[in-house]
């Protein structure tokens, strides 16, 4: 059956082109499309992403764009995946497991701030993009997003070795959200924002204060347990 399917597909291909070559060509075009979208979003933000510009950038028809991805939402998610991968690499490079948990969390938070400053349109697109009505995030995109919290959870686990997985997951999201809020408002330079020049110092202060509070709560709980 598979052999017959391959023969049918091959019959539709341009003369002399194998099915393997055709699939390789489509994969290359799809990668070129994602890279073109990444460049446009990186320069103009999500509002600059237009299907006609993408088609022109990779040398295909407008309909050809939708032969490579299901829709623009899917394309944006693939760009987001690349952004999250780069962000994850930056956070990994900034911290080491031999650091004290507080120092590691501060380094991760500062790396996040610096990445956001250096790649603002791509970083903002992670949070500004909304799926179309009645659409849900695919599992692979959800897993990409959850990977961010793993960076925070690892040092928190060392800081709070007796905490259960659900508590660590919630704390990771809370601490990430606190840092993200400071960075987002700071880079927007709103009236109530922390000045950009002071962002890193204030983020470090926040993270250290949170770690001290968690350590004190752990010590208090331990002392009550021994009472």
| CATH 1.10.10 given to domain 1-70 | yes
Give the start-to-end residue ranges of the domains of the chain: 1-70, 71-227
Task: Say what the pLDDT of residue 171 is.
Answer: 95
Task: Say what the pLDDT of residue 138 is.
Answer: 94
- Topology alike, domains 1-70 and 71-227: no
Task: Say what the pLDDT of residue 6 is.
Answer: 41
Task: Specify whether the CB–CB gap between 113 and 172 falls below 8 A.
Answer: no
Task: Say what the pLDDT of residue 1 is.
Answer: 47
Task: Say what the pLDDT of residue 10 is.
Answer: 46
Burial label, 34 (beta-carbon count in 10 A; 0-12, 13-18, 19+): buried
Cα dist from 100 to 97, 154, 155, 163, whole Å? 8, 12, 8, 18
| CATH 1.10.357.10 given to domain 71-227 | yes
Give the count of beta carbons closer than 10 Å to the beta carbon of residue 163: 17
**Ranges of residues in the chain whose predicted pLDDT is under 50:** 1-11, 220, 227
Task: Say what the pLDDT of residue 89 is.
Answer: 97
């Amino acid at each position: 059956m598979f052999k017959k399917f391959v023969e049918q597909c091959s019959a539709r291909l341009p003369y002399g082109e194998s099915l393997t070559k055709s699939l390789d060509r489509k994969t290359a075009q799809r990668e070129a499309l994602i890279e073109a979208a990444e460049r446009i979003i990186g320069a103009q933000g999500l509002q600059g992403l237009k299907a006609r510009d993408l088609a022109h950038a990779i040398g295909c028809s407008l309909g050809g764009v939708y032969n490579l991805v299901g829709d623009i939402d899917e394309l944006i998610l693939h760009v987001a995946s690349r952004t999250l991968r780069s962000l994850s690499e930056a956070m990994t490079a900034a911290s080491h497991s031999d650091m004290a948990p507080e120092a590691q969390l501060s380094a991760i938070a500062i790396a996040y701030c610096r990445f956001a400053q250096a790649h603002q349109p791509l970083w903002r697109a992670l949070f500004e993009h909304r799926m179309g009505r009645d659409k849900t995030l695919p599992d692979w995109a959800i897993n990409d997003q959850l990977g961010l919290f793993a960076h925070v959870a690892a040092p928190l686990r060392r800081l709070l070795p007796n905490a259960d997985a659900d508590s660590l997951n919630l704390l990771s999201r809370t601490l990430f959200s606190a840092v993200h809020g400071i960075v987002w408002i700071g880079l927007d330079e709103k009236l109530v924002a922390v000045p950009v020049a002071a962002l890193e110092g204030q983020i470090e202060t926040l993270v250290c204060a949170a770690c001290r509070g968690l350590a004190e709560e752990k010590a208090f709980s331990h002392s009550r347990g021994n009472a």
